[in-house]
Structure 1
Amino acid sequence: MKTVLQPVADKPTFNKSTKKSLWLEAWKKLKKQRPAMVGLGIVLVFVLMGILAPVLTSQPYDGFNPQKTLISPNADHWFGTDDQGRDIYTRIIYGARISLWIGFFSVIGSIIVGSFLGLIAGYYGKWLDTIISRFFDIMLAFPSILLAIAIVAILGPSLFNALVAIAIINIPTYGRLIRSRVLSVKEEEYIAAAKITGMSDRRLLFQHVLPNSITPIIVQGTLGIATAILEAAALGFLGLGAQPGEPEWGKMLADSRQFITSAPWTLLFPGFAIMLIVLGFNMFGDGLRDALDPKMK
């Protein structure tokens, strides 16, 4: 009996210092990848923009000034003004808060629900796995943006409902990813040894199985934030996300599309902001995947 229990105590997987060294090694490898660090820099710039928005501008993002409509970029209005005289630079900065808020929290919601379902499906298998997997297959059968539109149409147009819709449509992505990892991890010898000690399923799942399956979720979540921001912009462009007055980049594009020839700056800067932040998350996510994937070492 003692020879069976011994691997649990000595298994490096449970050693916190070993885990710390693995993450430190991943960080050192990540720092060597210039595109990943550029992407991280872009993301941090937008995060700081959102946090320091009141410091970076004194203009109101929702003000209306009919005397300053469609002014081209100048010293007073760096990005110009829109058709209601609102400063576009200010709206871009405050819009970073909305895009990051939707991106982060929609992904967090997807990861929580998807990971829970994936854990159950992968660990218990049998009829639970069949039901949950078929649920994922049904959701994946619909184009994601159309499913998001349907959900928002049912719940009602708003930023929060757009966040909920984006979180729901991405649940299968994380659920299937964690399920595949759990199917592999649960066959490891240290899991069998932990079962012999009488460890409960709940403790086994959340202390051993999940921590050893979380790495691909972190990578996918980083890339998923970029996708969520694009989906939020698409819903805002269709009028199903941000409502009039809110400085959301997709909504800004929708409100300015009629000025594409007469005042192109009203579309250029919101579109460039979307492109830049999505590029930043994608570059950082790609580098994070290379740093954390053992096959890339």
Structure 2
Amino acid sequence: MKTIVQRVPEKTIINNSVKKSIWMDSWKKLKKQRSAMIGLGIVLFFIIVGILAPVITSQPYDGFNPKETLISPNAQHLFGTDDQGRDIFTRIVFGARISLWIGFFSVIGSIIVGSILGLIAGFYGKWLDAIISRFFDIMLAFPSILLAIAIVAILGPSLFNALVAIAIINIPTYGRLIRSRVLSVKEEEYIMAARITGMSDGRILFQHILPNSITPIIVQGTLGIATAILEAAALGFLGLGAQPGQAEWGKMLADSRQFITIAPWTLLFPGFAIMLVVIGFNMFGDGLRDALDPKMK
């Protein structure tokens, strides 16, 4: 009785080892960049704070205590209290959840939709490319924040609608990026070979073209999270994002702007939190771009 042994093609083993080597080299290069690691540390810090918010503080973030309004920072209230007697430290800790939630999921939504449209436009070209590209151009013709305001005004002010609006306005960024990559990757010899063997367009797109076009998307997505957090804060400041009672940093700034002279801590700490998390994502994104760029190696 013969035993059949299925051999794994050597080319597949080589390709997998090359991919692992590339990612390992990129990680080693990233670790050598002090600013990138500081940015990663800031991002991880806020993620941990958001996850462990109920453990870090036991005070309610949406309570009302008229006896403790506008108390300056002290041992009991590290960041002071706002005009409703709510502990600002607690609201910032819980606000990290909202800001990161909006940042991550709005970018994920933009990447999914933008990548699909970019893949179709770049791969098929002709009239599909023309229609999708004109759609991107029209969206990019409007200032992003004004377009987000218009979308939220149509859908109605809420945190979820703000997330949807931020995801929509950033679709062209990722769509055009993936389209440009597809235009160059689809001319490679291995794509031609896949077509000759009769591989379907869907398999070529998602098994060959997309994996080889994902690097710039990862970098842009990391930087895009910082932009999304700023846009969410702007919508919250305008009253179109988080609603009263929700612990969102932009909304905290809007509610406290009238107390800037008598209680500056009500604006200082949420503003510093926004600045710090945005700087963290930008520093990490810049380092990631340098580490994954073949020209930098």
- TM-score, length of structure 1 as denominator length: 0.96
Q: How far off is 1:187 after superposition?
A: 0.5
Q: How far off is 1:295 after superposition?
A: 1.2
Q: Counterparts of 2:19 and 2:79 in 1: how far apart (Å)? A: 47
Q: Counterparts of 2:107 and 2:268 in 1: how far apart (Å)? A: 27
Question: What is residue 101 of structure 2 aligned with on the other side?
Answer: 101
Which aligned pairs between 1:154-233 and structure 2 lie closer than 5 A?
Answer: 154-233=154-233
Name the amino acid aligned to 1:257. Answer: R
Contact 1:148 1:169 in 2 (8 A): yes
Question: What is residue 246 of structure 1 aligned with on the other side?
Answer: 246
Name the amino acid aligned to 2:209. Answer: V
Q: How far off is 1:17 after superposition?
A: 2.3
> Deviation string for 1:57-94 (max 9, x for gaps)?
01000010000000000000000000000000000000
> Deviation string for 1:188-242 (max 9, x for gaps)?
0111011111100000100000000000000000000000000000000000000
Contact 1:11 1:190 in 2 (8 A): no
Cα RMSD between the aligned structures? 1.1
Contact 1:92 1:270 in 2 (8 A): yes
Question: What is residue 50 of structure 2 aligned with on the other side?
Answer: 50
Q: Counterparts of 2:90 and 2:169 in 1: how far apart (Å)? A: 31
Segments of 5+ residues of structure 1 without an aligned counterpart are: 1-8
Question: What is residue 91 of structure 1 aligned with on the other side?
Answer: 91
Question: What is residue 116 of structure 1 aligned with on the other side?
Answer: 116
Which aligned pairs between 1:138-149 and structure 2 lie closer than 5 A?
Answer: 138-149=138-149
Large movers: runs of 4+ above 6 Å: none
Contact 1:253 1:266 in 2 (8 A): yes
State percent identity of aligned pairs.
87
Question: What is residue 80 of structure 1 aligned with on the other side?
Answer: 80
Q: How far off is 1:285 after superposition?
A: 0.1
Segments of 5+ residues of structure 2 without an aligned counterpart are: 1-8
Q: How far off is 1:281 after superposition?
A: 0.1
Change (3 A) 1:254 1:51: same
Contact 1:12 1:18 in 2 (8 A): no
**SS in structure 1 at match of 2:21:** helix
Q: Counterparts of 1:54 and 1:248 in 2: how far apart (Å)? A: 16
Name the amino acid aligned to 1:174. Answer: Y
Q: Counterparts of 2:62 and 2:11 in 1: how far apart (Å)? A: 58
Name the amino acid aligned to 1:71. Answer: I
2:74 aligned with 1:64: no
Question: What is residue 236 of structure 1 aligned with on the other side?
Answer: 236
Q: Counterparts of 1:15 and 1:103 in 2: how far apart (Å)? A: 34
Q: How far off is 1:11 after superposition?
A: 5.8
Q: How far off is 1:10 after superposition?
A: 6.5
